[in-house]
Amino acid sequence: MTERKLLKVMFLCTANSCRSQMAEGIARYVGKGVIEPYSAGLFHFHVHARAIEVMKEINIDISQQKSKSIDKKLLHIMDIIITLCGHAEHSCPTTPPGIKRIHWPINDPVGTVGTEQEITDAFRKTRDKIKEKIERFVHEIQVRGEIT
């Protein structure tokens, strides 16, 4: 049996502190054996504590992940680049030729104003939306061998 090549997928957002970090962690778990996930931002900041917290609720530990800026050399070896916010979609360096680019507009929970519960719920909603998209993405690769 031939071993399938893992698709290198980079998730991009502005600060690489929340959405792209969640996506990297979820993709590592959901896409095991299918994709090799990376994440980066237009600049690096830190991995948001509340993102770490809500990811632990689904048994995915991103506490050891580090916030990273886009590495243009690494960008060139990706198979797929997925932007998670409008700012990254418009400000990301030009996608190198031959690399598929997908945009998933997902709200940033970091700026949520409200009670602690409302803020945490916003992070959970973002996490769940990312998880749903990644599960569908991995399923498409496994079943159809294609990405839409």
What residues act catalytically? 13, 85, 92
Distant-in-sequence contacts of 26-33, Cβ < 8 A, 24+ apart: 26/55, 26/60, 26/127, 26/130, 26/131, 26/134, 27/134, 27/138, 28/60, 29/60, 30/131, 30/134, 30/135, 30/138, 31/134, 31/137, 31/138, 33/4, 33/6
Q: What are the angstrom distances between the C-alpha of 117 and each of 31, 106, 121?
A: 30, 20, 6
Residue reference for tokens 């719920």: 121
Amino acid at 90: H
